[in-house]
Structure 1
């Protein structure tokens, strides 16, 4: 007679296991994205610079206000009030330069201009 014990997981154990796997996947994805951003020369250059919020405001007015509003309070694009508390500087850079969120166009400011825009966004 073959004496094998079959172990079954309870539904609670299964949920915990799934949650751990999901958390691990998210952690690895975030770490991978951060590593990618850290290796991007443009992003590294932007993050190494100090921005000027006054210059950033002028750049915003010329390039972004048409969709985000003169006061960055939303129009076609969303309000950007408090955006720097919701998104990291790296994510903001990616948002601006990628064009991944239509109808926002891809925009490639110089590293100093991007640093200036980040300073302006932080001031909102």
Structure 2
């Protein structure tokens, strides 16, 4: 005679399988996002360059300081102090070029300018 599972046992098994599925899905999703990010030619080019944080600061002050403050400490836009601890390199690049967070405009710097700006942002 087969032992039939009771409802609590079935629920526990379902929870365990769901947790296992989530634990497997999260790394796969992260890996998939990284593959997509790495395949973007602009991002690949930016990340292959060495940025100059002094030049990046000049680019920042010309294009970003009006909203983010002269020293990136916030004004109309948020403070960018320690922003590289909150956003990945790809996330920073994407934020700058996408303009997905209104009222931030799209900004399309050259790859070297973006590498310089990224270097500056990572120095904050």
TM-score interval, normalised by the smaller of the two chains:
0.7 to 0.9
In structure 1, what is the Cα distance between the partners aligned to 2:21 and 2:94?
27
**1:61 maps to 2:61:** yes
Query: TM-score scaled by structure 2?
Result: 0.86
Gaps of 5+ in 1: none
List runs of 5+ in structure 2 lacking aligned partners: none
> 1:105/1:25 Cα in 2 relative to 1: closer, same or farther (>3 Å)?
farther
Aligned-residue CA RMSD in angstroms? 1.9
Aligned twin of 2:4: 6
Normalized per residue, the structure richer in helix is 2
TM-score, length-scaled by structure 1: 0.86
Q: Deviations over 1:33-71 (max 9, x none)?
A: 111111111000000000011110010001111111111
Runs of 4+ with deviation above 2 angstroms? 3-29
Q: Cα distance, 1:75 vs. partner?
A: 1.5
Tell me the SS of whatever aligns to 1:50: coil
Alpha-carbon distance, 1:4 to partner: 5.7
Shift of 1:18: 2.7
